[in-house]
Amino acid sequence: MIETVKQLGPYSVIAPGIALPHSRPEDGVVCNCMALIKLKEPVNFGSHNDPVYIVIAFGANEKESHITALKELAESLQENEFIEDLKKATCKEEIINLFSGCDETMVKIIINHEYCDGCGTCVRVCPNEIYELVEMKSVAKHPEKCIVCRECELQCPNNAITIEE
């Protein structure tokens, strides 16, 4: 990815503050992968969209999944709400939960931390152990395990959880 940026310039800076470097199968990608970093100190790539404070890097081991992944990321990054939620995320679980909404086969678990009082009801009622309490707030650590039974949503005494399909 670094060599590609050196050769082609700052093509990966796709929006103000956001870079999306990626590699294709012919670049040596062995398995599908993604990494995201929020930079404390932004970096200049030499783009009119500098400085970059969010870098989402990914690799795909087949051409079709490479194009699909790019498309899904681009669609999400066009939504101002998604970008703002990404900027405000304070832990990896919140970021993972945001991206789980990108995959059409997964549900999106939304936890409104203004309403969550850390009672732990969601932790107790979830049959798949999706939730954990982190600093007295519920976090969906494993949204990919959700079977959409909606017990968490129905039993949350503060209506802090919303499940979107």
Q: Cite the active site residues.
A: 22
Strand 33-43 and strand 13-15: pairing? Answer: unpaired
Contact of 52 with 13, CB cutoff 8 Å: yes
Identify the burial level of 13 via C-beta atoms within 10 angstroms of its C-beta, where 0-12 means exposed, 13-18 middle and 19 or more buried.
Answer: buried
In sequence order, what DSSP letters do the residues of 67-109 get, joined into one string?
Answer: HHHHHHHHHHHT-HHHHHHHHH--SHHHHHHHHHTTSTTS-EE
86/102 Cα distance (integer angstroms)? 13
29/52 Cα distance (integer angstroms)? 24
Identity (one letter) of the amino acid at 10?
P
